[in-house]
């Protein structure tokens, strides 16, 4: 209901209460006016009193209306203020409660994040320790092998001093030429009709056993850095000294054996371990072994 309509009921009630009084005063005035007309005398003082009475009554009505309106406005203002205060207090309480909850949540989040960060840091540290403990030291780099080069040039073969090697006796195998490395180059004696460097070449033998050296491993282990050896000559074995040389057993025949000598140039493949490594053929590869007479 609007404020103006709220003041209407008391005003209407007051008007109803004053209506008999005014009607009585009006009747009295009417009777007096009739008497005055009859007598021809009108009292101005009474008319003035009647108007003053009416005006006073109307002023009282207006004052009551104004006071009632002011009272209603003051009550509405109080209600609004109370409502605004209550709403403001509830909102502030809600905000404070919400802020407390959010602050609690934020604190909880910060604590969890801190705990997580600590755990992650611990885990990272442990992983680093594990890695540091599990990392094996790097192996030392292998030495680079020397560059390969085929520089051995064997030419002539000599069986013992004066080329007078006999069966059943130890002798030194001499190979003359150029580009030799006596510490690493090696020699191999094969069948006279076979080819140097072939895997099917037959190693020289007289009786099939008792030959020195024996097999590919024996020839690969025979050193060629004996007396008079150098870059132009290989001296394989030490002849009669300590029986460390080349020897083919006596077959009791008067035949002369002509074998073939093959040379392994170590610098060509950086090894002398198989028949294929002995692939260099001298210019005169024949090795003569004389019978015992």
Question: Percent of the chain beyond pLDDT 90?
Answer: 40
Query: pLDDT of 14-46, one tens digit each?
Result: 666 666 555 555 556 556 555 544 444 434 344
Distance in angstroms (rounded) separating the CA atoms of residues 125 and 114? 16
Query: pLDDT of 222-231, one tens digit each?
Result: 999 998 999 9
Average pLDDT over residues 62-82: 55
Is the preceding peptide bond at 213 cis, omega within 30 degrees of 0?
yes
Report pLDDT for 137.
78
DSSP-derived secondary structure letter, 119 = H
Report pLDDT for 37.
47
The label of the residue with tokens 């077959």 reads 251
Residue 283 near residue 154 (C-beta atoms within 8 A): yes
Q: Which two tokens stand for residue 128?
A: 């680093």
Find the range with the poorest average confidence among 2-16, 106-120, 195-209, 214-228: 106-120
- Closest C-alpha to 287, from 214, 229, 204: 204
Residue 272 vs residues 24, 238, 281: alpha-carbon distances, Å: 159, 20, 15
Query: pLDDT of 104-159, one tens digit each?
Result: 555 544 444 455 544 445 555 555 555 555 667 788 888 777 778 889 999 999 99
**pTM for this entry:** 0.52
Distance in angstroms (rounded) separating the CA atoms of residues 264 and 33? 172
Report pLDDT for 42.
39
What is the overall mean pLDDT for the chain?
Answer: 74
Whether the pLDDT of residue 191 is over 90: the answer is yes
Whether the pLDDT of residue 184 is over 90: the answer is yes
DSSP-derived secondary structure letter, 203 = B
Residue 229 vs residues 44, 158, 176, 267: alpha-carbon distances, Å: 178, 13, 9, 17
């Amino acid at each position: 209901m609007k404020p103006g309509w709220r003041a209407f009921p008391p005003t209407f009630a007051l008007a109803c209460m004053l209506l008999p009084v005014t009607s009585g005063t009006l009747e009295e005035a009417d009777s007096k006016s009739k008497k005055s007309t009859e007598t021809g005398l009108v009292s101005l003082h009474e008319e003035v009193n009647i108007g003053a009475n009416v005006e006073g009554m109307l002023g009282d009505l207006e004052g009551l209306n104004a006071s009632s309106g002011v009272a209603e406005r003051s009550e509405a203002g109080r209600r609004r203020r109370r409502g605004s205060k209550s709403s403001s207090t509830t909102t502030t309480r809600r905000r404070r409660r919400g802020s407390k909850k959010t602050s609690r949540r934020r604190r909880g989040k910060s604590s969890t994040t801190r705990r997580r960060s600590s755990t992650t840091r611990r885990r990272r540290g442990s992983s680093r320790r594990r890695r540091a403990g599990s990392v094996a030291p790097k192996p030392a780099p292998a030495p680079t092998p020397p560059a390969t080069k085929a520089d051995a040039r064997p030419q002539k073969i000599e069986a013992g001093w004066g080329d007078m090697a006999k069966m059943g006796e130890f002798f030194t195998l001499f190979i003359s030429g150029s580009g030799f490395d006596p510490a690493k180059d090696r020699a191999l004696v094969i069948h006279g009709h076979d080819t140097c460097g072939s895997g099917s070449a037959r190693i020289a033998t007289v009786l099939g056993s008792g030959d020195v050296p024996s097999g590919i491993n024996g020839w690969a282990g025979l050193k060629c850095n004996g007396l008079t050896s150098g870059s132009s000559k290989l001296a394989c074995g030490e002849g009669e000294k300590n029986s460390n040389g080349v020897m083919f057993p006596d077959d009791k025949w008067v035949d002369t054996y002509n074998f073939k000598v093959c040379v392994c140039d170590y610098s060509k493949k950086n090894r002398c371990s198989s028949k294929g490594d002995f692939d260099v053929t001298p210019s005169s590869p024949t090795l003569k072994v004389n019978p015992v007479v």
